[in-house]
Structure 1
Amino acid sequence: MPLLAIAYFSISGTTEKLAHAVARGADGRAQVTLCRITGGDIVSGRFQNESLLETIDGADAVAFGSPTYMGGPAAQFKAFADASSDRWSQQRWANTIAAGFTTGACASGDQLHTLSYFSILAAQHGMLWCGLDIPGGEDPSGRNRLGSQLGLATHLIDGSLPESDLGTAAYLGLRLAKMASRNG
């Protein structure tokens, strides 16, 4: 069974809900490890959690998640990405399937830039990017509500994540698990 690592940062719990939904979607098709990036992982501005990085070293698929702050991923996620540079130079994550998810304050809150950041991070590592294959506005269940093909982008409505976005996250987890099974 492939290993899906979900590497994410969450401050308010919204991104964490998405991470858990991605995990639910992969349940039964992949072994899932939630790799939460915490403030305690950042020491003097540098990410310092070798065991989290080692988990990703052994993963067949990785989902990157962060809220979108000021048009990009949170600083805590960026510190994690910066710490992956030793792995980049060795291409340890090459051929691993990767995907991304993010949430922002507004429907047009520059979440695409965060997803682009994730896909470039994956490309630098030689990873294989997995986007969404649900046409925006076309799904009977309302999945991919904001129509982002690069990955899951969402925002809160009246302070809550829409169920359709949690459904999209679960679908992304399922898609990652299926792709990792084929890749292995």
Structure 2
Amino acid sequence: MSKIAVVFHSGYGHTQRMAQSVADGAGAELVQIDADGNLPAGGWEVLAAADAIIMGSPTYMGSVSWQFKKFADASSKPWFTQAWKDKLFAGFTNSATMNGDKLSTLHYLFTLAMQQGGIWVGTAIMPSNAKAALRSDVNYVGSFSGAMAQSPSDSSPAEMPAGDLETARLFGERVAKVSERWSAGKG
């Protein structure tokens, strides 16, 4: 069985709830970036041992949070030795508006993964885009690059749409399946 880590920052709890759903689907270990942009004790070791790293950040002003950026900058140490080369990577994000420039955040995560020499895994989840689609449907936001969620700015994490959380869980499952194939040499 492959090892998967979900490294994320959450400002208000929505991205943390999404990270938990991704981890549930992937059977992954959570590594939370704290309010000061630091990993917990042993966090770097968890990432080093992982076959796949799923990254998550809220979308603030069209990109990752400064706390996630601090982590990304600190990842120059494994980059310098190519320690994460050929690991699988994936990403997810949440913002208050339906678009909210979330794709810009996923592009940031993708670029970080490519700089690390990684292999990117998308969602492979068809969007709910028919007239009959409901906000509670899977992949209602319609992203293939990574999982996206939308949480109104005045909502609590407990009010996140069930479809967004299920999208995150299914995304985690996909990363786990691809990781198993990759680890078995069938990638």
- Asked if 2 retains the 8 angstrom alpha-carbon contact of 1:53 and 1:84, the reply is no
- Look up the SS of the partner of 1:65 in the other structure: strand
* Identity within the alignment, %: 39
Which residues of structure 2 form unaligned runs of 5+?
A: none
Pairwise CA distance, 1:49: 5.4
Pairwise CA distance, 1:52: 1.3
* 1:137-166 alpha-carbon deviations (Å, 9 max, x no partner): 259882111111110111115722110000
Question: Aligned ranges for residues 157-176 of structure 1 at < 5 Å?
Answer: 157=152, 159=155, 160-176=159-175
Q: Give the number of aligned pairs.
A: 175
The match for 1:155 among 145, 150, 154 is: 150
In 2, the alpha carbon distance for the partners of 1:95 and 1:169 equals: 23
Question: Aligned ranges for residues 38-77 of structure 1 at < 5 Å?
Answer: 38-40=34-36, 42=37, 47=38, 51-77=42-68
**Structure 1 length as normaliser, TM-score?**
0.89
- Asked if 2 retains the 8 angstrom alpha-carbon contact of 1:4 and 1:33, the reply is yes
In 2, the alpha carbon distance for the partners of 1:154 and 1:12 equals: 14
* 1:85-127 alpha-carbon deviations (Å, 9 max, x no partner): 0111111111111111100110010010000000000000011
Structure with the higher fraction of residues in strand conformation? 1
Aligned to 2:71: 80
Change (3 A) 1:23 1:136: same
Aligned to 2:98: 107
In 1, the alpha carbon distance for the partners of 2:76 and 2:23 equals: 26
- Look up the SS of the partner of 1:72 in the other structure: coil
Q: CA-atom RMSD, angstroms?
A: 1.8
Matched, 1:4 2:28: no
- Asked if 1 retains the 8 angstrom alpha-carbon contact of 2:8 and 2:31, the reply is yes
Aligned to 1:133: 124
In 1, the alpha carbon distance for the partners of 2:96 and 2:60 equals: 9
- Look up the SS of the partner of 1:16 in the other structure: helix
Which residues of structure 1 form unaligned runs of 5+?
A: none
Change (3 A) 1:101 1:155: same
- Look up the SS of the partner of 2:91 in the other structure: strand
The match for 2:140 among 139, 145, 148 is: 145
- Asked if 1 retains the 8 angstrom alpha-carbon contact of 2:140 and 2:164, the reply is yes
**Structure 2 length as normaliser, TM-score?**
0.87
* 1:17-47 alpha-carbon deviations (Å, 9 max, x no partner): 00110111123xxxx210000024x4xxxx4
